[in-house]
């Protein structure tokens, strides 16, 4: 789909509507896809999107800081002072229609940001402080060895893995449902087309309307978003690139690039049902999983880095004790072990 042609055929009011919807978290799946395609169409578009996003994030931070009137004034000044700088000289290689749209887009986006900031200012200025303070931040944290299930204000269920946490507003807004995740969680999202469900985990922002998916962000350099049902948009905040996932797709970063691959559902969400699943899992990753799962510390002896790199673990353990798991692994991986309270010593 040629997004630039679609936008060119739209009226000014339609363009404004899409921009406002996207920035305020109300965009539907089609609008998210259109914006994503437009951003990835050229470096010019990416640069301008980054500038627009920076304005928007700055305005939100200032509003949250309860300095709204000052923020609004500064935002207006920055947008209109920077507008000439945002008009990059056309690249001779780019088609004339593609050159014209970005300039027009940033003007409407700037106007949209002003409208949104005015709305936020009006809400903050006219809503009693007692009402504003009622919207409290809720945080759910699991220590190592603990897993839990949480029901969010909208009815969405979250399975939270060990050594993981989520935070969210006690009462979701009328425009979006925002979640911050550290660690791993599985989501079964209640559908609400007016309020997209957004999960921020490291550099990823995953947006859904009604779906089920798993996010593993234990390692910020290897975050994985796995979709089971529905459809989600995954945005990499660093590159501003996004991908649309369908059931069975998994998004992750490979050599600084956001890529999509397939995955085995059993292996990804087995933890939710009390199952540890290793499938040619690297030794170091196996140790990390066991430490989180059983709240213990491993000490490994007589194993070089080269030997460790070649050692892979395979097996599934449902609701098993640590001793039972180690008995199986020690037999297949040829090691001895001893348990001293919460310290496990492995000897090769």
Architecture of domain 135-267: Sandwich (2.60)
Residues 231, 21: Cα–Cα separation, whole Å: 19
Residues 314, 209: Cα–Cα separation, whole Å: 36
Which three-class secondary structure state does DSSP give residue 213?
A: strand
Residues 89, 44: Cα–Cα separation, whole Å: 10
Residues 64, 66: Cα–Cα separation, whole Å: 5
Could you read off the pLDDT of 20-55 as tens digits, one per residue?
566 666 666 677 667 666 667 667 666 666 666 666
Give the residue ranges of DSSP H helices in 127-214: 129-133
Residue 210 confidence (pLDDT) = 81
Residue 254 confidence (pLDDT) = 81
Residue 6 confidence (pLDDT) = 40
Q: Tell me, what DSSP letter sits at residue 204?
A: E
Given a contact cutoff of 8 angstroms between Cβ atoms, the answer to whether 14 and 71 are in contact is no
In terms of Cα–Cα distance, which of 164, 170, 191, 161 is closest to 276? 161
In terms of Cα–Cα distance, which of 252, 259, 204 is closest to 226? 252
Residue 171 confidence (pLDDT) = 87
Domain extent listing, the chain: 3-129, 135-267, 274-347
Residue 189 confidence (pLDDT) = 95
Which three-class secondary structure state does DSSP give residue 18?
A: helix
The gap from C-alpha 316 to its chain's centroid, in whole angstroms, comes to 28
Given a contact cutoff of 8 angstroms between Cβ atoms, the answer to whether 214 and 228 are in contact is yes
Interior angle at CA 260, CA 255 and CA 265, nearest 5: 120
The list of the chain residues with pLDDT below 50 reads 1-13, 15, 60-101, 121-133
Residue 257 confidence (pLDDT) = 82
The helices-and-strands tally (H runs, E runs) of the chain is 11, 19
CATH topology of domain 274-347: Phage tail protein beta-alpha-beta fold (3.55.50)
The pair of three-digit structure tokens given for residue 287, joined into one six-digit string: 């140790």
Which three-class secondary structure state does DSSP give residue 263?
A: coil
Q: CA-CA distances (angstroms) from residue 258 to 26, 224, 240?
A: 24, 10, 10
DSSP-derived pairing of the beta strands 177-182 and 197-201: parallel
Could you read off the pLDDT of 66-98 as tens digits, one per residue?
343 444 444 444 444 444 433 334 444 444 444
Residues 298, 290: Cα–Cα separation, whole Å: 9
Q: Tell me, what DSSP letter sits at residue 173?
A: -
Q: Which residues of 183-198 are buried (b: 16+ CB within 10 A; e: fewer)?
A: bbbbbbbbebeebbbb
Given a contact cutoff of 8 angstroms between Cβ atoms, the answer to whether 252 and 245 are in contact is no
Phi-psi region of 212 (alpha: psi -120 to 50; beta: other; left: phi over 0): beta
Which three-class secondary structure state does DSSP give residue 295?
A: coil
3-state helix, strand, coil in the chain (%, to 5): 40, 30, 30
Q: CA-CA distances (angstroms) from residue 83 to 103, 180, 323?
A: 9, 33, 65
């Amino acid at each position: 789909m040629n997004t630039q042609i679609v936008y060119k055929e739209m009226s000014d009011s339609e363009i404004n509507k899409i921009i406002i919807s996207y920035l305020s978290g109300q965009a539907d799946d089609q609008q998210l896809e259109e914006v994503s395609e437009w951003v990835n169409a050229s470096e010019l578009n990416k640069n301008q999107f980054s500038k627009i996003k920076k304005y928007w994030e700055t305005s939100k931070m200032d509003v949250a800081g309860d300095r709204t009137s000052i923020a609004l004034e500064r935002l207006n000044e920055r947008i209109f002072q920077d507008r000439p700088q945002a008009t990059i000289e056309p690249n001779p290689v780019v088609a004339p229609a593609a050159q014209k749209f970005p300039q027009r887009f940033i003007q409407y986006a700037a106007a949209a940001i002003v409208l949104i900031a005015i709305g936020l200012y009006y809400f903050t200025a006219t809503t009693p402080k007692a009402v504003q303070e009622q919207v409290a931040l809720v945080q759910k944290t699991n220590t190592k060895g603990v897993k839990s299930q949480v029901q969010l204000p909208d009815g969405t269920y979250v399975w939270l893995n060990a050594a993981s946490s989520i935070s969210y507003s006690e009462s979701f807004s009328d425009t979006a449902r925002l979640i911050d995740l550290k660690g791993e969680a599985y989501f079964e999202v209640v559908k609400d087309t007016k309020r997209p469900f957004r999960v921020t985990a490291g550099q990823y922002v995953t947006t859904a309307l009604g779906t089920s998916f798993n996010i593993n962000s234990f390692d910020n350099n290897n975050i994985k978003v796995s979709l089971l049902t529905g459809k989600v948009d995954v945005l990499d905040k660093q590159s501003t690139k996004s991908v649309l996932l369908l059931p069975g797709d998994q998004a992750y970063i490979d050599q600084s690039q956001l890529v999509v691959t397939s995955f085995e559902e059993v292996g990804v969400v087995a933890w939710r049902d009390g199952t540890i699943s290793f499938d040619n899992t690297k030794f170091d990753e196996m140790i990390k999983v066991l430490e989180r799962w059983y709240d213990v510390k491993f000490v490994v002896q007589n194993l070089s880095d080269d030997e460790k790199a070649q050692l892979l673990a395979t097996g599934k353990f449902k609701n098993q004790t640590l001793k039972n798991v180690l008995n199986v692994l020690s037999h297949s991986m040829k090691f001895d072990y001893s348990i001293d309270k919460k310290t496990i010593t492995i000897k090769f």
